[in-house]
Structures are given as C-alpha cells and as structure tokens.
Structure 1
Amino acid sequence: MRRAARNDGGSGPGGTPSMFSNSIKRKIMGIALALIVLMALTSVLSLVMVRQVGARFDELTSSHVPAYGSLGRAHVRSLERALALRRMVIETFRPDMEPQRAEDTRKVFVAKGQEVEREVAAARAAMAGLIASSERVEDQKAFVRLDSRLESLMSGSRHLLTEEIARLLAALEAKDKARVADSLSRVDRLRDDVNGEFEDIRTDMLALLTVDSAAAMQTQQQVMLIAAVLTLLAAALGVVFSTLVSDGVTSPVRRLLDGARAVEAGRLDHEIAVTTHDEIGDLTKAFNRMVEQLRLKERILDTFGHYVDPRVVQGLIDRPSLAVDGQRRVMTILFCDVAGFTAASERMTPQGLVKILNSYFSTMSAPIRENDGILDKYIGDAIMAYWGPPFNDAAAQERLACLAALAMLDRLDDLRASFPELIGVRTAPISFDLRIGVATGEALVGSIGSEQMMNYTVIGDTVNLASRLEGACKHYGVRALISEATARAAADVVETREIDLVAVAGAEKTERIFEIMGRKDTLSEPRRALRKAFGEGLAFYRAGDWTAARTAFSEALAAAPDDGPTRVFLRRLDELETAPAQEGWNGAWRFAEK
C-alpha cells in the first residue's frame, strides 16, 4: 500500500479544504457565537458522556458479569467436588461397595475439579480484559488485586488442598481408615480455607460490580438530563452543521478505518495523512506512531528469531516478566547428538563441516518447531529443546516431544543422502547417526546468566537426565531413549519398550528408561515379538533367574539379530554367571560416566 505524505496543515489530500479551513470557520462564525457554544457543548458533552455510559455498560455486560458468574460457578463446582469426594469415601467403605458406582463417583470428582479450573481461567481472562480496557486507575488496581488473590488461591490454598486430596485418595486405595480419617480432617480444613477465599473474592467482585453499576446508572441519568435540555436547540443546529460535520469527521475516520484494515491484513507500510488539529488528528498521529512501533517490533522479531526461538522473543516482548521470573514447572527436555561426529569431522574440510552442520541443524530443528518445541541452543553438534508452559499445554508436552523425536529419525536417511551432493563428493567421509534422549520432570524455567548477557532456558535434574539418556543410547545401541514419565504420558501416540532400570552418572535415584520403537499401532510382527521376548527376559533378569532370562533374550535376538539392548543383557548375564550379584541386588545398572 502506498505511503501517504504527512500533512499537518488545514487542507486534506490534493489541497481540498477541510471542514476547519478558514472559509468554513468564517461561515460558522457568521451564524452566531452563542449557537456555536451551544453546539459545542451539546456535541462534546453528549459524545463524552455517551461513550462513558457505553463503555461502562459494555464492561458490565462483557466482563464484570461474566467474571462474577465464572467465580460463582467455580465456587459451586468446588463445593460439588468436595461432595463427590465425600461420596467416594462413603462408597469405598460401604460393605456392599459396587466398583462401578465408586468409579462413577471418581469420574464426577475429577470432572468437577476440571470445571473449577476452567471457570477460574475464564474469570481471570475476563479480569485481564477489564484490567487492559478499563480507563479508571482505581478499577484497574482493584481487578489486579482480585486477579492476584485468585492466582494465589489456585497456587496456594487450592494447591495444598489438591495435594492433601491426593494423599487421601492414596489412603482410600489402601482402604486405611485411620489414614483416611486423618487426611479427611485436613482436607476439610483446607477446603474451608479455599471456600472462604472464594467467598471473599466473590464478595469483593460483587462490591465492584455494584459500584460500577451504580456509577453507570448515574452517568446515564446525567446524559438523559443534559440531552433533554439541549436536544431541541441541538436539533435545529444539527441540520445546519450535519454536512460540515460529516465531511470533516467521517473522512479522516474512514482513512483511519482503511489504515486499521491494512494493519489487520499485515501491511505495515501504511501511514495516514494528518488533516485536522483535533482529537481525530491526534488519533491519526497516534495510529501512525503505533504502525511505526509495529514495524520496529516486526524487525526485532525477524532479526532475533534467527538467534533465539521466535516464541521466546515474542514472549519476552509481550510479557517482560518472563525475563526476570524463574519458576519451577514440569517440562519435557530433548537432547539430540550425532553419534561419532567428533572423530569423523576431523577428516573433513572446515567448509564441508560447516555445510553438513548447517544442513543437520536445519533438518533436525524443523520437526522440533513443527511439534511446537522451543529450540534452546546448539551445543557443538548437539541440539537442546524443551516443551512445557508457558509455550505448550502441560498435558501435551510429552507427546509432542516424542513425535518430534520420531520425525527427526524419519528424516535421517534423507539427510545422509544429501551429504555427497552438499560437499561435492561421491561419498561423504562421515558416519552419521543420531542419539536422542527425552526426559520429563520438574525444572527451573527462566532467564539465566549475568547482568551483561541472559539466556531464557531450563536447568535442573530433568535436563541432566535427558542429556544422560542421549549418552546412554550409545551403551544400548539404540537411537532414542526416554524417561518413564515421558513414556507414560506419551503412551497414546508412540510404541515403547522398557530397556532398563538405571542410575545415570551424577544421580542416586534409579530411573526406568524406555526406547521409542515407533508410532502407535505401527510395529511390525517381528518388532512386537522382540518387545514381548525382551520384556520377559527383563523380568527374569530382575528376578535373578539367569537361565530363563537367557532363554527369553535369545528369543528376542532371534526376532531382531541386531538388537543392541538384547546383546547388552546377554553380556551382563555372562558376567553375572561368573561373578554373582551381591545381596540386595535389584537389577539396576549404574552408569559411572556421562
């Protein structure tokens, strides 16, 4: 769209006089000063006060009432959830307990908890709209306080209640009446705290709603009174000035509307000529400044998007608190590395090495982005990425990470095939394979670094576990290993098999680790046979039955002669037969090296 030239004078494009040109002013002044003052009062007062009334009623109908309604429903759902929990306890200890009825009660309990979350989220969304749109600082502060209290309620008292309910459910599973009674009393106290906080927030919200409603009604009455007094005089003047007003107001408004539509369509090269010295002129100037800022923001995103994941850049711009707030969240971390790349790269020219690395990073980064992952960094020939809030739905992060890992492995053959042409030789002098590790768990998310340079990243034991799993792929001769938490959450999209119980280097806790075998319901018959036989061998191995374990692992090797994990366990069995396991052995394998 062509950029229009700025014009701060009194004439419009092409030199056409605006409604405020000198000739128009002379005509207006010729009518009578008294009529001009009356018309100005009518127009200004009516416009300002009607807009105030409209804005207030709009806030009441679109945000105040829905927010209060969502809070009320959340409170009711919380009470219904408590009732469902009581029914669960009663059903569990009834002499004639029916499993189906107990399960139905549990489903109601879970559903009510989810409804509480949804209603609170809806209330907070409405409050966020009120905070952003309200022109009154007092109202903004009040809603900020309410939103903070609601957030504190969900992350504080209700979180403690949820944890205590989890312990109560565990006691119910064990049918431990003493533990249930003790936990139930704590649940009651915590629930009373939650209900009390809900009630206080609703009361304060209702008070705000009442005050704003009264203010809106009072403003409406003032508008009606002033309109009744001035309507007769303004009506006579309206005919005279309608043409002038329509030409002078609607033309720049139309230009603003056209400009807004251009911005909505993504065309940021549009600048509107300023043709008046009134509020519309100021609005036009503000619009032009806004477009300039949008162009600047677009350039920033485009530039830094090549160095930092665009969603991180966008998040830091839209929510500066991300740059300073560190939070512990459940995240899913992925590490990808090239097997044997360091030794092979020594035989390549620097130019060829750079071309292969760039092609590798581009090819393997694409599946991460396509599955909504955040590319954190490149470390040598390794890639680190992560999934989780605030960039992903917490319930989907494990599935997305596993699907990304499979997509990376799917592109490996095409990547290898492109190397000879890429570096201009018939055979690329590199043995190229991938190792991928994925782990899910609690991690610290936030800006890490110094005053001079920061990096928005994730750190913690989960990150270390993902890195160690990537390294463990070499030991087992597989391409992708994932943690138990990842495998459990992604079970509906990928096929896995348990590989081992290990303690990675630097960790005391043992972890069950799994191999990604393929997408859900895509395994061939030999691969299913391998998983079945390997699983049986693993069970015998942990039970200390070396003979049965060797038989099962031999069946697994027959189904897949090149299976690395099977060969690893057969070698272990050879060692265990010559050097028996110590007392208390549980089948766990400890890695001494990273």
Structure 2
Amino acid sequence: MKSRIARVPAAKSGILGSIRPLSTLSQSLMPLFNQSIRRKIVGIALGLIVLMLVTSILSMVMSSQVGVLLDELTNRYIPAYGDLARANIRSLERSVALRRMVMMKMQEAPDEEAYAARLKEFEEADRRIEQETSDARSHINAIIDDTRTPSDNAALARIDAHIETAVSELRRGMNEEHARLLKQIDAKQMPEARGTLERLDVLRDQFNQRIDGIRGDMLKQVFASTSTVIGRQHQAIIISGIVTLLAAIVGFVFAMLVSSGITRPVRLLLAGTREVEAGRFDKPITVSTKDEIGELAAAFNRMVEQLRHNERIRETFGRYIDPKVVQGLIDRPEVAIDGQRRVMTIMFCDMSGFTSMSEGMTPRGLVKVMNHYFTVMSGPIRSNRGVIDKYIGDAVMAYWGPPFIDEDEPALLAGLAAIDMAEQVPALQRQLPDLLGIRAMPAPCDLRIGIATGEVLTGSIGSELMMSFTVMGDAVNLASRLEAVNKTYGTRILIAQATAEAIGTQLELREIDRLAVVGQTIPQPIFEVMARSGALTGAQASLRAHYAEGLAAYRACRFDEARAALNAALEAVPGDGPSRTLLGRIAQFETDPPDEGWDGAWRLEQK
C-alpha cells in the first residue's frame, strides 16, 4: 500500500532543502557588501529574483501534485463508482427486458417480432453490465498501477476481486437459468417458467446486493481520495505560505543588510555635511565601505581638511583684514578686481589726547594700551555689522554698505556703533590705569567720531606687490574732517547731512552748525548724535531746544537772542561744547561783525 503519510516528510524535506540554498545564496552574496553600489543593487535584485523563483517553483510542484490527485479523483475514482452504479441499473433493465420476453411468449398468439425486440434489449443490457463492470475494474487497476498518487491498493484490489466474483457468479447462474427459461417458454411450461423467473430475480437481487456493497466500498475510497486531495491542497497552501514568508523574511533581511551598507555611509555623509554647514570642520567621516559612497566620503574628508586649512587662513587673515571683506573677496573676487561705485557710510574714530598720553609711556605700555583700545572700540563696529578698513595710528576707519549689508541700513548702523563706542569710554578710562599698573593716566582719553555718507569707490587699491581692499571718495575725506571737527565744537560724534537724512528720527540728533570743512566750498549742516531714539534725558532735551533757538538767532545775526538761548542751553548742560563755541564766535562778531549777506555758515581754514 502506498502510504499517504510517507509523502509528508518528503514535502517537509523539500522546504528545508529550499531554505538551505537561500542561506547558501545569502552567504555567497556577502561579498557584494564590499562591491560598488551598482553591484549591490544588482545583487539585491538577483537575490530577490532567486527567492521568487524558488517560491514559484515550489508552488508549481505542489500545485502539480494536487492536480495529479484531482485528475485521479475526477477521471478514475468517480468514473469507477459511476460504472458500478450503472451496472446496477443495467441489471434492473435486463430483468425488465426478460419479463417482457416472457409476456410476449405467454400470449395466446405470441408476438415473435416483439419477442425478438425484447430479446435484443435483454442482450444489450447484459452486454452493458459486462462493459460497466469491466470499465470499473479498469479504472481501479489504473489507480493501483499509478505510483505517483497515494491510495489504499489492498482495498482497491479487494474491490476488483469482488467485482470479478460477482460478475462471474451472475454470469454462470444467469446463463443456466436463462437457457432453462427459454426452453420452458417454448414448451408452454408456464408454471415451471414462473419458478425459473423467481430464481432469476433472486440471482438479480443477489448481484445487486453485491454491487451495492462494492459501491459502498468504492464510495469510501472516493471519500478517502477526496480527503487526500483537500489535505494536499491545504498542505500546499500552508507550505507555500510558509516558504513565501521565509523568502520574504530572508529577502527583507538581505535587502536591509545591503541597504544599510549603502544608507549608513550616506547618513554619515549627511551628518558631516551639516557639521560643515554649521562651520564645524573637526569631525571627519569614517570611511566604512569601498564603493562609490566610500570614495565620496574620502573625498569629503579631504574637502573638510582643505576647508579647515582655509578656515585657519581666514582666521589668520581676519586679524589683518576684516572677515567680511575676506569672505566677500572669496565669494565675489571680481569686486576686488574691477571695483565698484557704491553709496556707503564711512566712520573715523580717534583717541583724543593720544599724543600727550603716549609721551609718558614706554613702547611696551603704549602697545598694550592701543591694543586694548582697538579691541574695545572694534567690538561695537563688528556687532553692528560694520567693516573695519584699517587702523591708522590711534584712529579706526570703518565703513558700512553693500554688498555686506542692505542699502537702507548703513547710516543707522554706523550711528548705533558710534553710540556704543561712546558708552565704552568710562569703562576704558577706568581700565587703562589698571592695564599699565599705574594710579592714573598721564592724560585723559576720550573719543572723537566723524561719520559721512556718500558715493565711494570700493576695490583693491595699491601696487602690483601689495594691495588693500578699501574705499575712496569725498565721503571718506568728509568723515575724516568731521572727526577732527569734534575738537572745534567739543563734541564726540559728528555726522554729515546725508547721514542725518538717512537716519531720520531713528536716533536723537542735534544740528550743530552749517560748516565747510577744508577742501569744500559749499557748506552743509553737521549734526551731533546725542542718544538712541527716545533715550534723551530732560536736560538733553532742554539743551537741544535752547541750542536750536540760539543757532537760528545766531544765523540771523540776532546775537543778543542767540547769547541768551545759548546760555540757557549751558544751564541745562553745563560745559556743552557747541554752545560755548557759538558764544565765543558771538563775542568775536561783536568786535568784528560778519560781512553783509553772511550765510550763517562757518568755514574752516585748517584741518
């Protein structure tokens, strides 16, 4: 007997056998991790294709096995059972035909033609019984002979033997009784013919009972085959699902391993790029692969090293050239080569009393004082986005303007920087003696700041051997002159008219005078930066109001009114330099009045 149970381990071994090649395939594709990205991707695709092929082949094999079982059930088991059922029917048909034959003979006038027709029906039914049972036996023997499918061959062999026995016994008894019946009918022995018919009915019933029993056994085999088919189908579904799941897991793990080998360096490269973007060049990327990304990571590390080197150069040059200029020249080198005309705001800042202060210092002490002074004064300029152009002795030159800031910001930022610088003076005056290790400075120090706005030429100026990126123009000269004019008026921060117009009401300004500096023929108003917007004290507000009255009267040659207003200004803020300057001029005009048609402007004849 072919065992159905024996086939299950074979199927399981087939699954394990299909899993082993997958693990072997995974190991054989491990070298792909060190290959190029193209080969990695191709390796993943090939691995997934192989897994898909293995799964498909296994499903096809199992489906073909189920197909063979279904074919056997459809074309052998069920037809065999149908043949046996039809054999029963043919037996009944033959019995009916036999009775009709007897009835045709028992008539007073026998109908020979009808008798012959019934005899033909009887013989046809008899032949069909032989044919149906023979077909049933052929199907059963085909099942037994087929080694591809599991079946209960012993039970099928018994069914075949029972069919043969039933047919042979039926044939032997029926032939004898049938011959006897025909003789009795011909001899008109009706009582004896009836007895023979009864024996024929008994033989028929015995045959039908045997066939019914055989059909029952055959039906059991049909059910068993159906159960086998259903079981194999379920088994195929489960095994296919398991293999598909295993293939998916193996493929997913394999793809994750390979993809992580690709994405991890990319993430490291991205993190390194963000570090570089943030200006941190001290974290090189670990090169963990030998593919294109590994080469890119190595190139990235070389680039970071070069950037680190460039940053060191930039930091070094930033001590000599403003970092904004360095970066601007790197980003747009054509600006330095070609030069451009732009509207900028220029500042000059100078330390008052520097000459007398430096006379009593050693060179080393003077260097310490100047370095500290420049450090303190440079902070507000840098924090307000200004560019320090150069240090000239004790003076600082700076500028604001495109392309470093927007065109509407330079004047205000320069004014804010000047205020911040002036606020540093008290602390600077306290720090310098401690810095030199003395009780008091030999001379007081203060600031003088001049600011002007106008069109200047920006670019690299110098010789073929040495150049400097700077600004040149009338605004530069005017800012320098205004810085010196602070000595005349006793002020700290003076700005030109264009600068005051650009600032507007964003800072607290006071018009000081209409002045023509050395080198200018047309006078222009100059203004003092007093404080940030809204930060004036009551005394400063009173000073500005009285000074404005005095200035207007002074320009109109109403010197008595001007003197009164300026004295009121001095009462508000004693020692106000511009007020004392105008009072000195009024005293001079009383002995030497100005010419008729005087425009109220003052012209400086020396720097």
Counterparts of 1:494 and 1:366, CA distance in 2: 20
* Corresponding residue SS for 1:529: helix
Q: Is the 8 A contact 2:550 2:562 kept in 1?
A: yes
Q: CA deviation at 1:561?
A: 3.0
Q: Pick one of 369, 375, 382 that aligns with 1:356.
A: 369
Q: Is the 8 A contact 2:515 2:526 kept in 1?
A: yes
Partner of 2:519: 506
Q: Pick one of 386, 392, 415 that aligns with 1:373.
A: 386
Q: Pick one of 468, 474, 495 that aligns with 1:455.
A: 468
Q: Is the 8 A contact 1:497 1:531 kept in 2?
A: yes
Cα distance change of structure 1 residues 27 and 419 upon mapping to structure 2, 3 Å threshold: closer
Q: Is the 8 A contact 2:353 2:445 kept in 1?
A: yes
Once the two structures are superposed, residues 429-482 of structure 1 have per-residue CA deviations (whole angstroms, 9 ceiling, x without a partner) of: 222111111111111112111122221111110011111011000011111111
Q: CA deviation at 1:488?
A: 2.3
Partner of 1:313: 326
Cα distance change of structure 1 residues 591 and 251 upon mapping to structure 2, 3 Å threshold: same
Counterparts of 1:264 and 1:428, CA distance in 2: 47
Counterparts of 1:25 and 1:439, CA distance in 2: 64
Partner of 1:522: 535
* Corresponding residue SS for 1:337: strand
Q: Which amino acid aligns with 1:329?
A: R
Q: Pick one of 595, 598, 602 that aligns with 1:582.
A: 595
Counterparts of 1:405 and 1:550, CA distance in 2: 30
* Corresponding residue SS for 2:355: helix
Partner of 1:417: 430
Cα distance change of structure 1 residues 276 and 443 upon mapping to structure 2, 3 Å threshold: same
Counterparts of 1:404 and 1:26, CA distance in 2: 61
Counterparts of 1:533 and 1:550, CA distance in 2: 10
Q: Which amino acid aligns with 1:443?
A: V
* Corresponding residue SS for 2:404: coil
Counterparts of 1:575 and 1:29, CA distance in 2: 98
Q: Is the 8 A contact 1:19 1:244 kept in 2?
A: no
* Corresponding residue SS for 1:501: strand
1:326-341 pair list within 5 angstroms: 326-341=339-354
Q: Pick one of 403, 413, 417 that aligns with 1:404.
A: 417
For structure 1, the 5+ residue unaligned runs are 1-15, 37-234
Q: CA deviation at 1:522?
A: 2.1
Q: Is the 8 A contact 1:19 1:247 kept in 2?
A: no
Q: Is the 8 A contact 1:326 1:445 kept in 2?
A: yes
Alignment TM-score, normalising by the size of structure 2: 0.57
Partner of 1:444: 457
* Corresponding residue SS for 1:19: helix
Q: Is the 8 A contact 1:437 1:481 kept in 2?
A: yes
Q: RMSD of aligned C-alpha atoms?
A: 3.2
Cα distance change of structure 1 residues 349 and 583 upon mapping to structure 2, 3 Å threshold: same
Cα distance change of structure 1 residues 345 and 267 upon mapping to structure 2, 3 Å threshold: closer
Alignment TM-score, normalising by the size of structure 1: 0.59
Cα distance change of structure 1 residues 26 and 391 upon mapping to structure 2, 3 Å threshold: closer
Q: Which amino acid aligns with 1:290?
A: M
Counterparts of 1:273 and 1:556, CA distance in 2: 72
* Corresponding residue SS for 1:502: strand
Q: CA deviation at 1:489?
A: 2.2
Q: Which amino acid aligns with 1:492?
A: T
Once the two structures are superposed, residues 135-156 of structure 1 have per-residue CA deviations (whole angstroms, 9 ceiling, x without a partner) of: xxxxxxxxxxxxxxxxxxxxxx
Q: CA deviation at 1:258?
A: 4.0
Counterparts of 2:470 and 2:349, CA distance in 1: 16
Q: Pick one of 335, 346, 358 that aligns with 1:322.
A: 335
Once the two structures are superposed, residues 391-430 of structure 1 have per-residue CA deviations (whole angstroms, 9 ceiling, x without a partner) of: 1121111111111111111110111101221111111222
Q: Is the 8 A contact 2:346 2:451 kept in 1?
A: yes
Higher alpha-carbon Rg = 2
Q: Which amino acid aligns with 1:461?
A: D
* Corresponding residue SS for 1:324: helix
* Corresponding residue SS for 1:358: helix
* Aligned residues with identical type, % of pairs: 58
- Bigger relative contact order, structure 1 or 2, given CA contacts below 8 A and separation 6+? 1
Q: CA deviation at 1:261?
A: 4.2
Is 1:533 aligned to 2:549, yes or no? Answer: no
Cα distance change of structure 1 residues 578 and 30 upon mapping to structure 2, 3 Å threshold: closer
Bigger mean CA deviation after superposition, 524-533 or 338-347: 524-533
Counterparts of 2:41 and 2:402, CA distance in 1: 61
Counterparts of 2:488 and 2:455, CA distance in 1: 26
Partner of 2:165: none
Cα distance change of structure 1 residues 412 and 492 upon mapping to structure 2, 3 Å threshold: same
Partner of 2:228: none
For structure 2, the 5+ residue unaligned runs are 1-28, 50-247
